[in-house]
Amino acid sequence: MLIKVFSAANLGLETIKVDVEVNLANRGLPGFEIVGLPDKAVDESKERVRAAIISSGVEFPMKKIIVNLAPADVPKEGSFYDLPIAIGILKSVLQFSLPEKSLFFGELSLDGSLRHTRGAFLLALFAKEAGLENLFVPKDSANEAAIIKGIRVYPVENLFELTSHFLGRKLIKPAIFKKSEIDERLPAPAEFDMKEILGQEQAKRAMEIAVAGSHNIIMIGSPGSGKTMLARALPGIMPPLSEEESLEVTKLYSATGNILPGGSLVTSRQFRAPHHTASQVGLIGGGVKPQPGEISLAHRGVLFLDEFSEFPRSVMEAMRQPLEDGYLTISRSKERVKYPADFMLVASANPCPCGYLNHPKKNCVCSSRQIKKYQKRISGPILDRIDLHIVVQPVDVEEFSENQKASEFLESSVKIKERVLAARQIQLERFKGEGIYTNAQMKNSQIKKYCRLTKEVEQILKQAGIRFQLSARSYMKMIKVARTIADLDGAEDIGISHMAEALQYRPKIYED
């Protein structure tokens, strides 16, 4: 007796249909085999399925069972073929009929219940595109799949419930998408409010500009100067994801199993802060079966690389292309996977090996040669792609507490975020139909189109170019940053003050 159940396989961010064929033969010794390039997790599903069926109160058939996962040449991985295999066997035993155009997906527990399984969102997307109507997924993953409208998503708690549904005893109600609080746990909220950071006016302003235009930013300063604190406060001023962006990010997070059980849409920008000992594959992506790395998980969000100069050179160089293109293609002999990786880079570094170069109180003990060597650790081409460069110096807290006026100066993250949101709105409208969202993404032709400079502003930029020895690329960066400053100001044209302020964030040290 041959039974066909449909499921799907996720290859990177693409999904293909997989037919799960279950054959129960009366002849031959009883047994259970899975064929069709299963990996270890799929192969082990035999034991899970057997236990789960028995736990559901059904006798496991003493027949020779062959499960074929077709197409046979695509490697199958993961645990989500448990449900379709179990349904195939149960169907032959209990003799119920399956609804047409249905897709099954989910990992079984030994007691027959279904566990949260990664990739539910991708499957739902695929189901809709392929014209399927019913999707049976674990209850914890149902909200994730239900984001997609136009298909019926059945939240299945356990095998027994599902058989009751097919036998018509007790029907399962399709899930309706609802926003859950769980999503707000992703990412962790900002650790600090901008208000809590004393002083650092210029650094905070630079952060505001960076977030408003999604510019890459590098902070250079001594240990304890507050670089990490500034970065950790960033999530508090980041705008939420737009609907389109949200779907992009959800797709990635679903594929990598980063969506929490019961969670659904990723609505806030992610803040990823990998340590500098992270492997290249972990950061950039790759592996035998290409997986997205931290840069992709930071898609449309922030990638914070603390102690940037400690990152291996090879990792930095590998980041060049995604920084430029906003995606990464990982090629293997058998497959090619494209992962989006459009992130805002926030880097921090010490100015010299001992860390105290230009420190107001401590003496630097490094020779100029050591300093040069240290500063060369950061790849030039990467620095070239960073729009804002700032120096962060430690704040004298004592002096600060005496200065009442200064304390009144402090702005909360909420207030800064308001300005950021307004600036983002202006950019969204400006770039309608251009395929980009922010000023930082502008290509040279777009800079010409959207950043017309008046004669006076151009004059200032030219003079600055001579005095500060700006490279041609730095010119373009300055214009982009000035555009964002003007947007924050609500100004249509880039004024002299906007350009002058942008020049404060030009590359200083770390570039000759």
Partner 1 sequence: MKKIMVNVIEIQDKKYPELLKKIKDAPKKLYYKGEFKNDIFENCLAVVGSRRLTSYGRRMTELLVSEIAVKGITIVSGFMYGGDEAAHRTAVEAGGRTIAVMPCGINVIHPEYQEDLYNKILNNNGLIISEFEGDLLPALWTYPKRNRIVAGLSKAVLVVEAGLNSGTLITTGFAKSFGRKIFAVPGPLTSEVSRGTAQLIKQGAEIVMDASDILKYFNISTIDSIKANSSKKNSNLIQLSALEKEIIEHLKTESLEADILARMLSIPISKISASLSLMQIKGFIGQDGDKYYIN
Q: Which is nearer to partner 1, 118 or 205 (CB)?
A: 205
- Whether residue 263 contacts residue 254, with contact meaning beta carbons closer than 8 Å, is answered with no
Query: In 10 A of CB 153, how many CB atoms?
Result: 27
Chain residues binding partner 1 by CB under 8 A are 199-202, 204-205, 357-358, 363-369, 372, 391, 393, 395, 403, 405-406, 409, 460, 463-464, 467, 485, 496-498, 500-501, 503-504
Q: Which is nearer to partner 1, 349 or 357 (CB)?
A: 357
In the bound complex, what is the minimum distance in angstroms from residue 364's beta carbon to partner 1? Answer: 7
Distance CA 349, CA 137 (A): 46
Name the 3-class secondary structure at 245. helix
- Whether residue 303 contacts residue 264, with contact meaning beta carbons closer than 8 Å, is answered with no
In the bound complex, what is the minimum distance in angstroms from residue 369's beta carbon to partner 1? Answer: 6
Q: Angle at Cα 449 formed by Cα 446 and Cα 450, nearest 5°?
A: 85
In the bound complex, what is the minimum distance in angstroms from residue 360's beta carbon to partner 1? Answer: 9
Strand intervals (E) in 237-300? 271-272, 285-286, 291-292
In the bound complex, what is the minimum distance in angstroms from residue 407's beta carbon to partner 1? Answer: 10
Q: Which is nearer to partner 1, 273 or 500 (CB)?
A: 500
In the bound complex, what is the minimum distance in angstroms from residue 384's beta carbon to partner 1? Answer: 21
Q: Which is nearer to partner 1, 12 or 199 (CB)?
A: 199
In the bound complex, what is the minimum distance in angstroms from residue 467's beta carbon to partner 1? Answer: 6
| Tokens (6 digits) for 71 | 């197409």
Strands of 102-104's sheet in order across: 102-104, 134-138, 152-156
Q: Which is nearer to partner 1, 439 or 441 (CB)?
A: 439
Pairing of strands 2-11, 14-25: antiparallel
Q: Which is nearer to partner 1, 306 or 501 (CB)?
A: 501
In the bound complex, what is the minimum distance in angstroms from residue 350's beta carbon to partner 1? Answer: 14
Distance CA 165, CA 204 (A): 57
Name the 3-class secondary structure at 209. helix
Q: What is the Cβ-side half-sphere exposure of residue 143, based on CA atoms within 13 angstroms? A: 16
Q: Which is nearer to partner 1, 98 or 406 (CB)?
A: 406
